[in-house]
Amino acid sequence: MTRPSLNQSIARCPGPCDIAIPIVYPNQPITIPVAAVREQIPFDGIDVEASLQVTFTDPDASPPLSIQSIRPQGPAVTGLGHAGIAIINGVTGAVAYLEYGRYDGARGFGRVRAVALSPSVITFDDSNKPDSASFASLLRSLAQTNNPTAGYDFEAVYIELPNGAFDIMKEFAEQRRQQVEEGPEGGAQPYNVANNHCFTFAMEVISEVGVGFNIRQANPLNLKLQGGNFLTRGAVSTFAPTFEVPARQMRALQTQHPALNVSNEGRITNGFQFP
């Protein structure tokens, strides 16, 4: 399949362009597995639960970090964010939402899945942009992908792409789905909060069609070790996990592409304008 070039003028789309909308839900609780963290700390005396409590309780962070509840696997944290990506076919109006996460339980390799949206097809106006009614319906549906009852607010970017990009992104996501289903036999790497997670998947999808980005300014979180002594904490810090923060990574991405912020009810909350 021929890869479209982003160097070509978007104006060359004979009609509406294809669209990618990477998304982060900053207030969707993310479970931090205590057992997996403990495996990376090879010394006794470190209080892993207390370390997680301190690390993920920071009301002054951007976004604020807090522990919403304690689940059997570990604390459920808001402020880290869960990512996905919506893609739109400019020719047919077809819409798909794709995400990668820990939906496979103890298996650990994660799973790529599609979540049905309503509408599954949008229409475009005379300026070749999504018409207001179908776009509003799409945003409401995106807010409810992982919380059909109350919805989650989300932060996103809106990227226009040459026609053909939709099929390439969807094909790539399907290949990744098959790869992670096969596990190590298919070359898949386990889900990892440091470098193989929901946001890295969304960035892989847009990278496949040539979208450039730089999110190095999004600072990761280092585990704030509790317990032990000065020497053991210093030694353990070499092994302790570092957590990438999709919510921070999205805010870095929003400095490079048009920002689209949406409430849990599906209303645009910033000054978004179609490019």
Pairing of strands 259-262, 75-78: unpaired
Pairing of strands 159-161, 30-31: unpaired
For 179-210, the pLDDT digits (tens) are 888 877 777 787 877 788 999 999 999 999 99
Between the alpha carbon of residue 97 and those of residues 9, 65, 100, 114, the distances in Å are: 26, 26, 11, 6
Q: What is the mean pLDDT of the chain?
A: 89
The helix/strand/coil state of 46 is: strand
Closest alpha carbon to 40 in 31, 48, 28: 48
Q: Count other C-beta atoms under 10 Å from residue 190's C-beta.
A: 14
For 63-118, the pLDDT digits (tens) are 999 999 999 989 999 999 999 999 999 999 999 999 998 766 556 678 899 999 99
Q: What pLDDT is recorded for position 7?
A: 44
Closest alpha carbon to 19 in 177, 175, 135, 141: 135
pLDDT above 70 (res 238): no
Q: Which helix (H) or strand (E) holds 19?
A: strand 18-25
pLDDT above 90 (res 235): no
Mean pLDDT of the region 246-260: 97
Residue type, 72: P
End-to-end CA distance of the chain: 27
Q: What pLDDT is recorded for position 181?
A: 85
> ∠ CA 52-56-59 to the nearest 5 degrees?
150
pLDDT above 60 (res 10): no
Phi/psi-derived region of residue 228, left when phi > 0, alpha when psi is between -120 and 50, beta in every other case = left
Query: What does the radius of gyration of the chain's CA atoms come to, in whole angstroms?
Result: 20
Q: What pLDDT is recorded for position 11?
A: 45
pLDDT above 70 (res 231): no
pTM value is 0.91
Task: Concatenate the DSSP letters of all residues of 87-124 into one string.
Answer: EE-TTT-BEEEEEEES-SGGG-S-EEEE---SSSB--B
CB 63 within 8 A of CB 56: no
Mean pLDDT of the region 161-185: 91
d(CA 21, CA 202): 9
CB 244 within 8 A of CB 193: yes
Task: Concatenate the DSSP letters of all residues of 253-270 into one string.
Answer: HTTTS-EEEE-TTS-B-S
DSSP tag of 69: E
Closest alpha carbon to 144 in 120, 121, 170, 116: 116
Q: Looking up tokens 């889900």, which residue turns up?
A: 191
For 13-68, the pLDDT digits (tens) are 889 999 999 999 999 999 998 988 888 886 778 899 999 999 999 999 999 999 99
> For residue 153, what are its two tokens?
């607010």
